[in-house]
Amino acid sequence: MTLTIGKVRGLQQLSDERGILAMCAMDHRGSLQRLINPGAPERVDAAVLTAYKLDLAEALAPVATAVLLDPIHGAAQAVVSGALPARTGLIVSLEESGYSTDAGGRITTLLPGWSVAKVKRMGAQAVKVLLYYRSDHPTAERQRAVVRQVAAEARAHDLPFVLEPLIYPTPEVEGGAAGFAARKGELIVQAASDLAALGIDVLKTEFPGSAEACRRVDEVSPVPWVLLSAGVEFDTFARQLEVACRAGASGFLGGRAVWEDGLRLADPVDRRRWLRTVAADRMRRLHDIASTHGRPWWKTFGDTLDRLAPVGPDWYRTYGDAGRQNSSEPRWA
């Protein structure tokens, strides 16, 4: 498989010198409001959300290879405040917070007024979409269409595309929490099989439950994959990450497992101190696990990095020509 120069460079900027992706998610909106004020999350205003995100970025971006931020409360603010170091990669989310529903299925909506082109223009290294997905639900094709659209735009602008499928329960199918838990692993693997070949560059996946299921994710994904934390306790996530990396994962893009405990602290001084110490140490520990057991992202595509985007002395003459033919602003369905 070959990659374009822009995507190779973007992935290099998201990873360490070995090709390991040690990334921290900070793009939470509704869930962060609920964490800050469980009794009245709607009272948490934009300024407060931004303040919390800047605390996260200042403490954790220096020990991450990249961070994931949202365009409303975090991405630009982290750049102009200096909270995001120049050497740390930036991924920006495209979707609205939450979801709409259709016949019991969850629908991802992309943020109006925002696009891959604008993410590229602001200087970020990648885009990300959280996609609610059930392969066995009638909304599956509609959700796959979102992936194809974003993939086309990312291809046109030569920007890496990180996809985060999230599996959700359908009570009419599983009949309850136990039934969903029994099926969740196979649904995660099926989502990887359905979506990873649709033009994405990195798959951000939930832990599918076992080493064998992780190996199946690795088998069906033609692109590098990383593990998300899904709000589990830190020690649990660290164990899951080692299992995933031994099975072929290239690292992690975790959030709440790293920093949620500290954000529960009401005193801002205590919160910032906790983030700079405990949370930063957690990031370093996870990075060590991924470095020890993980596969460099480029090895998923080929044996050596220089074979991913073959270039000769005239490569620049046609570079981007195919992308420009499809570089209009996206028309989100």
Tell me which of 74 and 175 has the higher pLDDT: 74
What mean pLDDT is reported for the chain?
A: 94
Residue 2 is predicted with a pLDDT of 74
Average pLDDT over residues 160-181: 90
Sign of CA dihedral 10, 16, 21, 24: negative
**Tokens of residue 248, six digits:** 């072929």
Average pLDDT over residues 150-163: 97
Residue 329: pLDDT over 60: no
Q: Which fold has domain 5-307?
A: TIM Barrel (3.20.20)
Distance CA 116, CA 200 (A): 13
Q: Could you tell me which residues are beta bridge partners of residue 89?
A: 66
**Tokens of residue 299, six digits:** 């090895």
Residue 90: pLDDT over 70: yes
Q: Identify the helix (H) or strand (E) that includes residue 145.
A: helix 140-156
Residue 324: pLDDT over 80: no
Q: Are 89 and 14 spatial neighbours (Cβ–Cβ below 8 Å)?
A: yes
Residue 166 is given by DSSP the state E
Q: Are 225 and 248 spatial neighbours (Cβ–Cβ below 8 Å)?
A: yes
Distance CA 123, CA 127 (A): 11
User: Per-residue confidence at 322, pLDDT binned at 50, 70, 90?
Assistant: low
> What residue spans define the domains of the chain?
5-307
Residue 172 is predicted with a pLDDT of 76
**Of 121, 95, 120, 117, which is closest to residue 108 (Cα–Cα)?**
95
Distance CA 143, CA 177 (A): 24
Average pLDDT over residues 14-35: 97
Residue 328: pLDDT over 50: no
Q: Are 66 and 86 spatial neighbours (Cβ–Cβ below 8 Å)?
A: no
User: Per-residue confidence at 305, pLDDT binned at 50, 70, 90?
Assistant: confident
Average pLDDT over residues 99-112: 95
Q: Could you tell me which residues are beta bridge partners of residue 163?
A: 129, 203
Q: Identify the helix (H) or strand (E) that includes residue 184.
A: helix 177-195
For the beta carbon of residue 328, count every other beta carbon within 10 angstroms.
Answer: 10
